[in-house]
Structure 1
Amino acid sequence: MAIFFTSCDDIVTYDDEFTDETVSNGPPVITRISTIENQDTDTTQGSFNQMIVIHGQNLTQVKSIQFNDQSVDLEEIYAVNTKIVVSIPGTVPDEITNKIVVTTEKGNTEFPFKVAFPDLIIRGFDFDFGNAGETIVMQGENLLLYDLTPEKGEIKMNGIPVTILSTTEDAVTLKVPDGITDNATVSVSSNRIKSVLGEEPIEFTYRDRGFSITDMGPDYLTHASTKNFATDGTKEGDPTPLFPGTCFSRIKGTVNGYSTNLLIYNYPFDTPSANPLFADMRTNPGDYEIKYEILVKTEFPITAPGDRIRMVLNGTRATNTQEWIPVLSGVAYHTHDKWVTISSDFAYYKTASGGSPLFETGNKFVFAYIHGAGTVAPTDLSLTNLRIAKKVNIVRKQM
C-alpha cells in the first residue's frame, strides 16, 4: 500500500515496502565471505590488512568483529543489513581459531575463515663461523612475526640453548653458545611457529665447512695460484686467521686505478662425480653457493661504487649484475675489523649451454678484487675459506 500527500508546495510519499538497511531485525547471520574486488565469488581465507566483504543478514548495529582473537576497529568498517566491508587486522593473533566472530546488538555469530600468515623464511647467518660468546645474526623474513624474540623464541645449537639478544622482521641477533662445533645443528622454534606452521622441526646446519676450493694450509704461502697475496696471520697488521694455523689472502697498501687484483688465479681442484656431493652439485646447482669470509678494515673502507668481487670457475662467471658490489648502496663498506661471510649463488656459474661448470679433474678458480675507479685507493682486504656449501633457504608455510 502506498499513501500520497499533496499540497501546493510539496509532495510526501510513504512506501510501506521500504527496508531500512541500517537496522537489524534479529541475530546476525553470515552466509559467505568474498573479496571486495570480486563479490560474486566466495573465499575461505585472506591475508593481513586485506579488504573483504562479509555477506549475510542482520549485520548492522555492530558491537565487535574478531578475526581469530584480533578485534577490528569499528570506525573503519562499512555495515548495512546484508553486508560488512572490513579490513582483516594486520596484528598477529595469540590464539588461532580460524573463525570470524561478529557481535551486534541483537546477538553474535561465527563463520569459518582462515587468515593466511606469510611464510617464515630463514637464509642462514651473516657469519658462518662464530665462536662461543660471539654475536652473529640469523637472517630471513617474518622472524619477529613468528616470535623468535628473547621472550618467546627458542633457538638451539646442537641442543644447547642460544641467548637471543634482539629481533626484527629480517634479523635475529644472538650469542653463540659454549660447546659449538663444526656442522652444528640449529633448531628454531616458538609457540607461534608450532601453532601456525606445525610441529615439524625447523633445522639447518651452522659452521658448514662444505667443500674447500683452496687448501688453506702452509702450501697456500708458496702455491703459484695464491702466493702473491698469501699470509699466515704473522705479518704486521694481519687479522687473526679464521681457523688457527690456516693461511689467507690479504691486499694491503694501495690498489691502482681501474685495476684487477688477482688474490687467487687458476687454483686447481678436482670434483669427481663418483663423490655424491659433487654429483649433487652438478644436478642441483641452485641448492649450493660459493662462499667465503672477507675482512675489510675500518680504517680502509671500500668507497668506489664500481668496485666488485669477480669469481671465475672454468671460464664461467656471474653476470655484472649478479656479482657482489660492496658499495652498491652508496655507503662505504667495511666489516668492523671482523670476518663476515659472503655468498654467491652457484647457479650463476652455469655454462653457456646451461650445464654445470665443474670438470671431473683440472678445475680452475679465480678470485679477483676489481677496483672500478680511476684513482689509487688505500686498501686492506683479506679473504679466506673459499668453499662450495649447501645453501640455507628454509621456507616454511602455514598448515
Structure 2
Amino acid sequence: MKTIKSIFYTISLSLTALFLGACQDVVNNPQVEDFSSDGAPTISKITTVTDLEQGITQSAMGQWVALQGDNLANVTSIHFNDVAVNMKEIYAVRHRINVQVPSEAPSNQTNTLTITTPLGEVTVSFTIDFPPLKVNGLLNEFAMPGSDATVTGEYFKLYGLLGDDATFTLDGKPLTIKEKTDNKIVFTIPSDAPDGAAIVLNSPKLKAPITLSYRDKGVPLFASYDKSYLFDGGYLWTDRSYFSDGTQQGDPTPPIGTSFLRRKNVYSAWTWDTLIGGHFDLSAADSDVAQHTENYYLKFEVWTPNAHPLSTGDFIFWSKQSDDKMKLRWNPASENVSFNTNGTWQTITLEAQSFFRDNNGANTLQVGANDLTIVYQPKNDLDADFAIVNLRFVKKP
C-alpha cells in the first residue's frame, strides 16, 4: 500500500510540474509569485504576454494578454465587455494577471475590461477586434414551400445564432431548424409560405435582426420562359432548343413556371456560345431601376447536376458596351473550385450596374427596350450541363 501511495504521489508531482511548465511556455508566468492583496485592484498597463513593455489598448479574440497593476491576486471575475472569463484558465498574482481574450461576442459591447476581487473592482477601456458577421443570404432564394432552405455566411456561433436563445421566423412564425453550424443554418420552409415573406434571424448578440426576403420576385426581365413567349413574342433570336419546357430527360423542377434555359453540350476550349440574345422591356412603373441602377442587384437561379460541375469558363453579360473589358463576367469557378449545385437551384447575385453600362461606364438601362446578351465561354474542354432561369432586378436592402 505504501508503495502504491508513493508511486501516486510521484506521478502527481510530475504532472503538476509538467502543467506548470506548459503554463510557463504559454502565458509567461512571473518568476516571483506574490498572492497578497491589501486594497482594490488597479491596472496600470495591458500588454501581450510575449512583450511586457509595449502597452496595448485592443486585441484580437483568443490572444493572451497580461494585465499589469496591483492587488490583482485573488481575482473573483474578469469581464471583457459583458463576457465572463473562465477563472480556471487564468494565472493571477499581485502585480499581474495572464488571461486569454474570450472568443465570444458580447450581448452589450462597451469596449471595457472589468476585474473584480474581494477588495474592490476596476474597469478600464479595452477593445476587442471582432470579425463582422457575414450573411450571404439564402442559398436558394426561391426554395419551394415545404422544402429545406439554407442560409450561408460566417461567424454564426460568435454572434449567438447557434445558441438556444437565437430565433428564426418566417413572417413572425417560428421555423423548424434542421441544422446549425458556424457557416450555415438549414430550416424548413412552411408549406403555406407566401412569396415575399420575411425570414428573420436574431440573437441577443446581434445589434439588429437579420432580415432576408423569401421568393422576392423583384423586377423580372421576362414574364415567362416559355418558348412561345420568348421567341414568338420577339424577345430572343437565339437557338430555341436551348430552352426546355421541363419534359426533357433529367430536367429539374424550376423555381418558377415550367420552362428554363438548359444547355447540355460538350464544349471545346474558348467556344463562344450565345445562350441568350435579344432584348427585354422595362416598364415605366419600374423606372427607378433605370434611374438608380446602382441600388439594384441582378439575380437569377442556376442548376447543375451532381455529375456535371462547372469547372471552367465565364458567363459574359452585356447590353450595349462593345469593349470586352467593360462586360460583366461571372466565373463560377473563380476560386479554382468547381461550381456544383448538386441537383438543386442556387441563387446568383451580381451588380446590375456592372451589366448595363457603356464603354465609358455610364448607365445605359432605360425604360422601354434594352439589349441583352449572355454568352458562355469555357477556358478548357468541358462536358457541361447547366440551367438558368428567373433573371430579375432586386433592390438592395
Report the TM-score range of the alignment, normalised by the length of the smaller protein: 0.7 to 0.9
Residue 345 of structure 1: how far off its partner (Å) = 2.2
For residue 298 of structure 1, what is the amino acid of its counterpart? N
1:366 matches 2:373: yes
For residue 215 of structure 1, what is the amino acid of its counterpart? A
Residue equivalent to 1:348: 354
1:149 matches 2:159: no
Residue 269 of structure 2 is aligned with which of 246, 252, 257?
Answer: 257
CA distance in 2, matches of 1:320, 1:168: 39
Residues 250, 381 of structure 1: 8 Å contact kept: yes
1:71 matches 2:77: no
- Specify every segment of 5 or more residues in structure 1 that has no aligned partner in the other structure, as ranges: 1-19, 393-399
Residue equivalent to 2:237: 225
- Specify every segment of 5 or more residues in structure 2 that has no aligned partner in the other structure, as ranges: 1-31
CA distance in 2, matches of 1:201, 1:94: 13
| Secondary structure in structure 2 of the residue aligned to 1:275 | helix
Residues 287, 367 of structure 2: 8 Å contact kept: no
| Secondary structure in structure 1 of the residue aligned to 2:254 | coil
Residues 107, 204 of structure 2: 8 Å contact kept: no
Residue 328 of structure 1: how far off its partner (Å) = 3.6
CA distance in 2, matches of 1:274, 1:301: 36
CA offsets, 1:72-119, max 9 Å, x none? 5666657552x5454322245689897644356x74424255665543
Residues 318, 348 of structure 1: 8 Å contact kept: no
For residue 259 of structure 1, what is the amino acid of its counterpart? T
Residue 137 of structure 1 is aligned with which of 130, 145, 150?
Answer: 150
Residue equivalent to 1:13: none
CA distance in 2, matches of 1:201, 1:53: 35
Residues 150, 164 of structure 1: 8 Å contact kept: no
For residue 180 of structure 2, what is the amino acid of its counterpart? T
1:212 matches 2:217: no
Residue 48 of structure 1: how far off its partner (Å) = 2.4
CA distance in 2, matches of 1:201, 1:318: 41
Residue equivalent to 1:49: 62
Residue 391 of structure 2 is aligned with which of 359, 372, 386?
Answer: 386
In the TM superposition, 1:8-23 aligns within 5 A as 22=34
More off after superposition, 173-182 vs 253-262? 253-262
CA distance in 1, matches of 2:84, 2:265: 59
Structure 1 residues 210, 80: closer, same or farther in 2, change over 3 A?
Answer: same
CA distance in 2, matches of 1:331, 1:69: 38
For residue 319 of structure 2, what is the amino acid of its counterpart? L
Residue 135 of structure 1: how far off its partner (Å) = 1.5
Residue 356 of structure 1: how far off its partner (Å) = 2.1
Structure 1 residues 149, 321: closer, same or farther in 2, change over 3 A?
Answer: farther
In the TM superposition, 1:291-370 aligns within 5 A as 291-303=299-311, 305=312, 307-315=313-321, 323-349=329-355, 350-370=357-377
For residue 377 of structure 2, what is the amino acid of its counterpart? I
CA offsets, 1:214-267, max 9 Å, x none? 3324412544335351222133433223223x4211112423432121110132
Structure 1 residues 298, 54: closer, same or farther in 2, change over 3 A?
Answer: closer
User: Which structure would you say has the larger RCO, counting Cα contacts within 8 Å and 6 or more residues apart?
Assistant: 1
Structure 1 residues 184, 234: closer, same or farther in 2, change over 3 A?
Answer: same
Residue 297 of structure 2 is aligned with which of 289, 292, 305?
Answer: 289
Q: Percent identity?
A: 24
For residue 173 of structure 2, what is the amino acid of its counterpart? I
Residue 268 of structure 1 is aligned with which of 277, 280, 288?
Answer: 280
| Secondary structure in structure 1 of the residue aligned to 2:350 | strand
Residues 221, 230 of structure 1: 8 Å contact kept: no
Structure 1 residues 32, 174: closer, same or farther in 2, change over 3 A?
Answer: farther
CA offsets, 1:104-149, max 9 Å, x none? 6x74424255665543332311101012221121123322222323
| Secondary structure in structure 1 of the residue aligned to 2:62 | coil
| RMSD (Å), alpha carbons | 3.7
TM-score (norm 1): 0.74
Residues 248, 384 of structure 1: 8 Å contact kept: yes
Residue equivalent to 2:171: 158
For residue 365 of structure 1, what is the amino acid of its counterpart? L
CA offsets, 1:252-290, max 9 Å, x none? 242343212111013233365973343232xxx1x4221
Residues 28, 102 of structure 1: 8 Å contact kept: no
More off after superposition, 380-389 vs 65-74? 65-74
CA offsets, 1:191-217, max 9 Å, x none? 333xxx2xx554332211111123324
More off after superposition, 94-103 vs 212-221? 94-103
Residue equivalent to 2:28: none
Residues 308, 385 of structure 2: 8 Å contact kept: yes
Choose between structure 1 and 2: higher strand proportion.
Answer: 1
